[in-house]
C-alpha cells in the first residue's frame, strides 16, 4: 500500500457548528476536525455541507485561522474558497494558501446561470493570476444539482492546458457516474485527481484509478469509509461498499445537513450541534427520532466522538 | 396625476462600470445614475443586471457610500442587499438603511436549492431583527430563473403578517404574468407594492394597480419607459408598450448585461463601459454590430448620455 498523499483519500466537507446566536464556533469545529483526522479523514472545510455559503468570507477566514492556529495540519485541509464574487474568491483563496492549506476546492461563480465556458475559464484564470502563488492547488467543484453551473470536460481540458501545476483535480458531485468515469478516463492518467462526490461511488472511483471521495457522510461515518479506501483491493470490498451505502441511505431519507448535525448532536450529547443557519432548518423532533431509528439496524455508531 | 412616491415608478438595476483592472468605478456609476434620475428613473443599485453578486459586500458598500456622498438622493435608491450569507445580508442592509436608502431589494439566500418556506421565512425574519431599524423597507426579489429559489405567495403572506411595516413589496422577475397578477390581486390592495420585473409587463402591471417596474432596459431606454408610467391612462398606452417591447426585443437577442454595457459604450463613446466581470463575457465585435443594427430600425437613442 502506497503512503497516502496528503490530498488523496477521504475528505469530509466538515459541518460547521453554530452557537445559540448562530455564530460559528471554532472550538467545536476543532474538536470535530480532530476526531475526523484521527480516522484518516481530511478536512474539506467550507463545502456545501459546511453551510459555507451561509457564512461571510470574514467568518470563514477567522475559522481557518483558528484551526491552523490550534495546530491542525494545513497539509490535510482542502477548504472551499469559490464564491460568487471574484474578489471574495481571491481573498479567501489567498489566505488559505498563506496558511499552508494543501489545496482548495473551488466552486465556479454560481449566481448567473447558463454562463459560457469562456466566462468560467476567465473566472478561474483571473483568480489564479490574482492569487499569484505557485503553492496554489485547485480542485474544481462540479456540483450542478446545487450550483446549477456545471464544469464541463472541455473547461477542465482548457484549464489543465493553461495551468497544469495549479489545476490539481475535481470533486464530481453530479451524481452521474458516466461523468465521473469520463473524468477518470480522460484526466486521471495525467495526474489530475478525481474525487467522487460521495462514498456511493467510492469503490468504483478507486477501481477507475481515482483519488478517493469527498462526502457529507464522512462527517459521521469516517472510519468505515476510510477503511474501504485503504482496503479496496481486498475481497470484501463490495460488501464494505454495500454497508456504506446502507448507512448513507438512512441519512438520505432526510435533508442531509440537518441530519448530519442531528446525528452529531445525538451521539455527542451536545444539543447545540443541531443548530443550522437559515435558510436551512434543523430536523424536527420526529424526524430526528426517525433518523436514529433508521440508523439503528445498520449498526451505525460514532466511536470516540 | 398623483405625485409619485419615491419608491414607485420605474427603477433601473443600474449596470456597474468596471475599470481596466475590473474594479468598480464609482465616478462613472454616479454619472450614469444622474442621467437615469434626470429621466425619472430610480436606482435599483446592485441588481442582477448590476453584476451585484460578482462584487464583495465591501465593494458594494464603498459604491453606495460614494454615491450618497456625492449627493445622489437616498430617497431614490433601492439597492439589492440579499446575499447567500445571513451576515453579509445584514451588514449590507444595515449600511443601506443607515445611509438613508428608502428601500432595499432582497434576494433570498440562493446557494441551497429546494429550501423550505420555513427556512426562507427564518432568513428574512432574522435579517429584519438583526438590522433592527424601523426605517427598513424590504422589497422581496422573486427571480427563479436566476436564483432558482422562488418566493411563494404563502411566504409573502407570512412575512406580511409578521412584518407589515417592513415588508413593502416585491419585484416579480418570474416572467410569469399569472404569478404577477396573483400578487397584484392578493397583496397590492394591502399597500404591498408589486413591481414587474421588466417593462414587458409594465402596462399590464399598472392596469392591475401595481407600482411600476424594475427593468434591465431602463438603463438604456429610461425616458420612454418612464413616460408610459406617467401616461398609461392615455389612449396611446398600448402603442407605447409595443414600442418598448420592440426595443427590449433587440436587446434580448443577446446576453442582456453585456448588451446593455455595449450600448452604453457605443452611445457614450466610452469603450471601458463594455467591461464585465467574469463569469460574464463582453459582447464580441460582431455581436455588438448586430445589436446596433437591430436597434437602428426601432429609433432607439440615448439622448443626453
A84 interfacial to chain B (CB closer than 8 Å)? yes
**Chain A residue closest to B123 (CA)?**
A278
Beta carbons of A38 and A10 less than 8 angstroms apart: no
Per-residue pLDDT reduced to its tens digit, B25-49: 999 999 999 999 999 999 999 999 9
Instruction: Specify whether the CB–CB gap between B7 and B42 falls below 8 A.
Output: yes
Contact A280 B87 (CB under 8 A): no
In a domain, A207, yes or no: yes
B237-251 and B285-295 are packed helices; what angle lies between their axes, rounded to 10 degrees? 170
For residue B30, is it within any domain? yes
Distance CA A213, CA A223 (A): 13
Q: What is the pLDDT of residue A180?
A: 98
Residue B84 contacts A where some CB pair is shorter than 8 Å: yes
Which residues of B are the active-site residues?
A: 48, 111, 141, 171
**Domain range enclosing A113:** 9-231
Residue A111 known to be catalytic: yes
Give contacts of A150 with chain B, Cβ < 8 Å.
Answer: none
The pLDDT, as a whole number, for residue B2 is: 43
- How many A/B residue pairs have CB atoms within 8 Å? 112
For residue A193, what pLDDT is reported?
98
Inspect the interface and report whether the beta carbons of A122 and B278 lie closer than 8 Å.
Answer: yes
CATH number where A21 lies: 3.20.20.70
Q: Does the pLDDT value for residue B4 go beyond 70? A: no
pLDDT value at residue A5? 63
Give CA separation, A282 vs A250, B101, B119, in Å: 17, 34, 9
pLDDT of residue A177: 98
A53 near B CB under 8 A:
yes
- Residues of chain B in contact with residue A63, where contact means CB-CB under 8 angstroms, are none
pLDDT above 60 (res B3): no
Q: Is residue A238 included in any domain, yes or no? A: no
Complex prediction ipTM: 0.97
Give residue-wise pLDDT tens across range B184-209.
Answer: 999 999 999 999 999 999 999 999 99
Compute the residue count for chain A: 305
User: Which residues are CB-contacts of A2 (< 8 A; sequence separation ≥ 6)?
Assistant: none
Query: Is residue B54 less than 8 Å (CB to CB) from chain A?
Result: yes
The C-alpha of A237 sits at a distance from chain B's nearest C-alpha, in angstroms, of 34
pLDDT band at B8 (very low <50, low <70, confident <90, very high): very high
User: What mean pLDDT value characterizes chain A?
Assistant: 97
pLDDT, residue A286, reads 98
Contact state of B109 with A84 under an 8 Å Cβ cutoff: no
For B255, the closest chain A residue by CA position comes to: A115
Q: Do B87 and A56 touch (CB under 8 A)?
A: yes
- Local structure of residue B216 (DSSP, 8 states): G
Helix H or strand E segment including A171: strand A167-172
Lowest mean pLDDT among A80-84, B5-9, B55-59, B286-290: B5-9
Asked if residue A6 has pLDDT above 80, the reply is: no
Residue of B48, B54, B110 lying closest to A85 (CB–CB): B54
| A278 assigned to some structural domain | no
Task: Pinpoint the alpha helices (H) of A252-284.
Answer: 256-268
pLDDT tens for residues A120-138?
Answer: 999 999 999 999 999 999 9
Per-residue model confidence (pLDDT) at position A155: 98
| Residue B5 pLDDT class (50, 70, 90 cuts) | low
In the predicted model, is pLDDT for residue A3 greater than 50? no
Q: Least CA distance to B92: which residue of chain A?
A: A56
3-state SS of B58-119 is: HHHHHHHHHHHHCCCCHHHECCECCCCCHHHHHHHHHHHHHCCCCCEEECCCCCCCCCCHHH
pLDDT (tens digit, 9 = 90+) per residue, B107-162? 999 999 999 999 999 999 999 999 999 999 999 999 999 999 999 999 999 999 99
pLDDT at residue A107 in the model: 98
Residue A258 lies in a domain: no
- Does residue A253 have an active-site annotation? no
| Within-domain flag for A48 | yes
- Partner-chain contact A146 B111, CB within 8 Å: yes
Q: What is the pLDDT of residue B209?
A: 98
Q: Average model confidence (pLDDT) for chain B?
A: 97
* Catalytic residue of the set A60, A171, A261, A282: A171
**In this complex, is the C-beta atom of A279 within 8 Å of any C-beta atom belonging to chain B?**
yes
Is residue B81 in some structural domain?
Answer: yes
Nearest Cα residue in chain B from A112: B146
Query: By the CB < 8 Å criterion, does A280 face chain B?
Result: yes
Is residue A170 a contact partner of residue A187, using CB atoms and an 8 Å limit?
A: yes
Give the integer Cα–Cα distance in Å for A38 and A48: 23
Would you say residue A11 has pLDDT above 60? yes
Q: A163 an active-site residue?
A: no
Touching check for B22 and chain A: CB below 8 Å?
A: yes
Can you tell me which residue has the cell 483519500?
Answer: A9
| DSSP label of A195 | E
Q: What pLDDT, in 10s, does the model give residues B49-92? A: 999 999 999 999 999 999 999 999 999 999 999 999 999 999 99
Query: How much is the pLDDT for A2?
Result: 44
Do the domain assignments include residue B4?
no
Between A86, A145, A278, which is nearest B278 by CB?
Answer: A86
**B1 pLDDT higher than 60:** no
Q: Do B88 and A279 touch (CB under 8 A)?
A: no
Q: In the sheet that A41-43 helps form, which strands lie side by side, from edge to edge? A: A41-43, A9-12, A212-214, A193-196, A167-172, A138-142, A104-106
Count Cβ atoms below 10 Å from residue B68 Cβ, excluding itself.
Answer: 17
Tens of pLDDT, residues A181-221: 999 999 999 999 999 999 999 999 999 999 999 999 999 99
Nearest-Cα distance to chain A for B5, in Å, is: 31
Number of compact structural domains in chain A: 1
Cβ contacts (< 8 Å) between A116 and chain B: which residues?
279, 281
Residue B109's pLDDT is 98
Amino acid at each position: 500500500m502506497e503512503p497516502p498523499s496528503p490530498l488523496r483519500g477521504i475528505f469530509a466537507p466538515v459541518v460547521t457548528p453554530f452557537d445559540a446566536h448562530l455564530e460559528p464556533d471554532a472550538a467545536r469545529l476543532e474538536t470535530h476536525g480532530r476526531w475526523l483526522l484521527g480516522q484518516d479523514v481530511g478536512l474539506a472545510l467550507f463545502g456545501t455541507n459546511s453551510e459555507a455559503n451561509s457564512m461571510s468570507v470574514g467568518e470563514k477566514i477567522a475559522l481557518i485561522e483558528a484551526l491552523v492556529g490550534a495546530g491542525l495540519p494545513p497539509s490535510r485541509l482542502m477548504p472551499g474558497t469559490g464564491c460568487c464574487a471574484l474578489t471574495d474568491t481571491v481573498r479567501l483563496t489567498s489566505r488559505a494558501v498563506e496558511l499552508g492549506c494543501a489545496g482548495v476546492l473551488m466552486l465556479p461563480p454560481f449566481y448567473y446561470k447558463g454562463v459560457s465556458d469562456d466566462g468560467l475559464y476567465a473566472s478561474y484564470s483571473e483568480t489564479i493570476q490574482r492569487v499569484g502563488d505557485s503553492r496554489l492547488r485547485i480542485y474544481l467543484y462540479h456540483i450542478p444539482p446545487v450550483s446549477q453551473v456545471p464544469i464541463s470536460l472541455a473547461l477542465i481540458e482548457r484549464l489543465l492546458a493553461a495551468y497544469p501545476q495549479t489545476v490539481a483535480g475535481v470533486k464530481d458531485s453530479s451524481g452521474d457516474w458516466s461523468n465521473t468515469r469520463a473524468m477518470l478516463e480522460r484526466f486521471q492518467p495525467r495526474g489530475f485527481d478525481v474525487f467522487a462526490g460521495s462514498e456511493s461511488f467510492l469503490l468504483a472511483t478507486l477501481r477507475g484509478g481515482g483519488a478517493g471521495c469527498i462526502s457529507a457522510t464522512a462527517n459521521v461515518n469516517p472510519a468505515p469509509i476510510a477503511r474501504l479506501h485503504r482496503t479496496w483491493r481486498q475481497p470484501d470490498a463490495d460488501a464494505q461498499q454495500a454497508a456504506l451505502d446502507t448507512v448513507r441511505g438512512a441519512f438520505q431519507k432526510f435533508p442531509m445537513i440537518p441530519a448530519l448535525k442531528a446525528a452529531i448532536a445525538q451521539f455527542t450529547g451536545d444539543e447545540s450541534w443541531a443548530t443550522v443557519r437559515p435558510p436551512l432548518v434543523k430536523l424536527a423532533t420526529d424526524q430526528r427520532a426517525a433518523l436514529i431509528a433508521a440508523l439503528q439496524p445498520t449498526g451505525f455508531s460514532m466511536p470516540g466522538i
